[in-house]
């Protein structure tokens, strides 16, 4: 295995190193650095990045990476794992999705060393991290006031990417097109295969989403032969079988008012099922929002106030039997949150 060079630091095989990768100073002359944690196995193998907080208010990924770094059972036997808990450090400081120049960093890749602030950060991540990697997992949450069911979005038409997504082990897989200027697009342009993990909501920790993310990353590393499989421990746990959604759509508010939800994240719905009512401040029901097709709710708005046209429920549509998807969502919850039933939690 060759020496790995990141930000002027050399990391030999078999070593672990924490790096503060300089990006751009604040106007207060304060250095802002991107934290990078590198773990290298002694044997040759693939290089994988795990990135979080490309949107600075999406905090679940930071906690996922933090727990991975402190996970005693994570012993890399082959390849290299590059963990970046905060790509958009500026956004994290401000608890904001955006960069200080109000740009969405995930629309500014691959960036430029002479571009905008967002462009400089994007270029730094591509040149120092992505260029080394064959695989990547980018961690996201729903936007402000929105929650997402744990799900993987990726190019599922590519067989190897599909196998990685299935190995991750969450119930819902979405075949998602690549957005222009996204980190995923920049990584794919270099030849890397990337999974985008969506779970939870902005500015909050969601324990189920965090545990599903940690377990999923470990599953991918095992699939790639980078960490050993504990078959004795795994055999006691039922698998979470993923299902591919052929399409998804947001159901929007048909009036402005105060929301009373009738369905929750992960619920199965049939065509014509009432999802929520929208009422006036005086208690009158103005409209009822209905499902236009049968599917599973994989995202929803949390704030109980809507304007007409606001996105309220993100529903995924499957070719498989929806009840099987719901059963596997419940299996995931039982595996990852067993203490709710009085059992011991997983080793995370």
Q: Clarify whether residues 23 and 159 are in a common domain.
A: yes
Residue 134: phi and psi, rounded to 5, are -100, -20
CATH number of the domain within which 182 lies: 3.40.630.10
Q: Clarify whether residues 183 and 265 are in a common domain.
A: no
Count of structural domains, the chain = 2
Q: Clarify whether residues 277 and 157 are in a common domain.
A: no
Cα angle 319-245-222, degrees, rounded to a multiple of 5: 115
333 in any annotated domain: no
Q: Clarify whether residues 224 and 250 are in a common domain.
A: no
Looking at the predicted structure, is the pLDDT value of residue 242 above 70?
yes
Q: Clarify whether residues 216 and 292 are in a common domain.
A: no
Mean pLDDT of 317-341: 84
- Single residue among 229, 255, 281 that ends a domain in this structure: 229
Cβ(11)–Cβ(128) below 8 Å: no
153 in any annotated domain: yes
- Token pair, residue 280, equals 């006036």
241 in any annotated domain: no
Q: Read off the pLDDT of residues 177-224 as tens digits, 9 standing for 90 and up.
A: 899 999 999 999 999 999 999 999 999 999 999 999 999 999 999 999
Q: Read off the pLDDT of residues 44-91 as tens digits, 9 standing for 90 and up.
A: 999 999 999 999 999 999 999 999 999 998 999 999 999 999 999 999
Domain span at residue 260?
Answer: 246-322
305 in any annotated domain: yes
CATH number of the domain within which 257 lies: 2.40.50.100
Q: Read off the pLDDT of residues 291-327 as tens digits, 9 standing for 90 and up.
A: 999 999 999 999 999 999 999 999 999 876 778 888 8
Residue 10: phi and psi, rounded to 5, are -105, 130
pLDDT at 196: 98
- CB contact burial 141-173 (16+ within 10 A = b; e otherwise): bbbbebbbbbbbbbbbeeeebbebbbbbbbbbb
Q: Clarify whether residues 92 and 127 are in a common domain.
A: yes
Looking at the predicted structure, is the pLDDT value of residue 272 above 90?
yes
174 in any annotated domain: yes
239 in any annotated domain: no
Residue 203: phi and psi, rounded to 5, are 60, 20
| Total H helices, total E strands in the chain | 8, 18
Q: Clarify whether residues 162 and 304 are in a common domain.
A: no
Q: Clarify whether residues 208 and 266 are in a common domain.
A: no
In three-state secondary structure terms, 24 is coil
Q: Read off the pLDDT of residues 85-144 as tens digits, 9 standing for 90 and up.
A: 999 999 999 999 999 989 999 999 999 999 999 999 999 999 999 999 999 999 999 999
Q: Clarify whether residues 170 and 131 are in a common domain.
A: yes
pLDDT at 27: 84
Q: Read off the pLDDT of residues 138-162 as tens digits, 9 standing for 90 and up.
A: 999 999 999 999 999 999 999 999 9
- Single residue among 229, 257, 275 that ends a domain in this structure: 229
Cα pseudo-dihedral 163, 166, 168, 169, rounded to 10: -160
- Token pair, residue 331, equals 């299996």
pLDDT at 232: 47
Beta bridge partners of 36: 19
- CB contact burial 284-304 (16+ within 10 A = b; e otherwise): eeebebebeeebbbbbbbeee
Q: Clarify whether residues 194 and 268 are in a common domain.
A: no
332 in any annotated domain: no
pTM reported for the whole predicted model: 0.94
pLDDT at 234: 54
Q: Clarify whether residues 183 and 310 are in a common domain.
A: no
In three-state secondary structure terms, 294 is coil
254 in any annotated domain: yes
Q: Clarify whether residues 164 and 273 are in a common domain.
A: no
């Amino acid at each position: 295995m060759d020496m790995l060079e990141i930000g002027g630091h050399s990391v030999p095989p078999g070593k672990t190193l924490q790096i503060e990768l300089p990006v751009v100073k604040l106007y207060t002359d304060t250095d802002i650095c991107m934290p990078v944690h590198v773990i290298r196995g002694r044997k040759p193998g693939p290089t994988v990045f795990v990135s979080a907080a490309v949107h600075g208010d999406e905090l679940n990924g930071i906690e996922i990476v933090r727990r991975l770094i402190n996970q005693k059972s994570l012993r890399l036997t082959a390849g290299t794992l590059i963990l970046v808990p905060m790509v958009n450090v500026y956004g994290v400081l401000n608890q904001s999705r955006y960069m200080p120049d109000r740009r969405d960093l995930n629309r500014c890749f691959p960036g430029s060393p002479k571009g905008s602030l967002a462009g400089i950060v994007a270029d730094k991540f591509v040149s120092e991290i992505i260029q080394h990697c064959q695989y990547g997992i980018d961690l996201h949450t729903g936007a402000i006031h929105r929650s997402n069911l744990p799900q993987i979005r990726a190019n599922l038409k590519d067989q190897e990417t599909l196998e990685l997504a299935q190995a991750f082990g969450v119930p819902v897989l979405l075949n998602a097109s690549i957005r222009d200027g996204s980190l995923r697009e920049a990584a794919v342009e270099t030849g890397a295969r990337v999974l985008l993990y969506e779970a939870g909501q902005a500015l909050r920790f969601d324990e189920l989403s965090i545990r599903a993310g940690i377990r999923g990353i470990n599953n991918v590393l095992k699939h790639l032969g980078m960490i050993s499989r504990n078959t004795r421990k795994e055999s006691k746990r039922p698998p979470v079988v993923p299902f591919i959604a052929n399409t998804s759509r947001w159901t929007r508010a048909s009036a402005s008012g105060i929301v009373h939800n009738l369905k929750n994240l992960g619920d199965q719905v049939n065509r014509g099922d009432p999802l929520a009512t929208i009422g006036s401040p005086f208690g009158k029901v103005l409209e009822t929002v209905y499902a236009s097709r049968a599917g599973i709710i994989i995202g929803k708005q949390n704030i109980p106030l809507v304007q007409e046209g606001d996105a309220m429920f993100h529903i995924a549509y499957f070719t498989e039997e929806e009840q099987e998807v719901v059963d596997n969502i419940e299996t995931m919850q039982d595996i990852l949150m067993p203490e709710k039933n009085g059992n011991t939690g997983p080793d995370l």
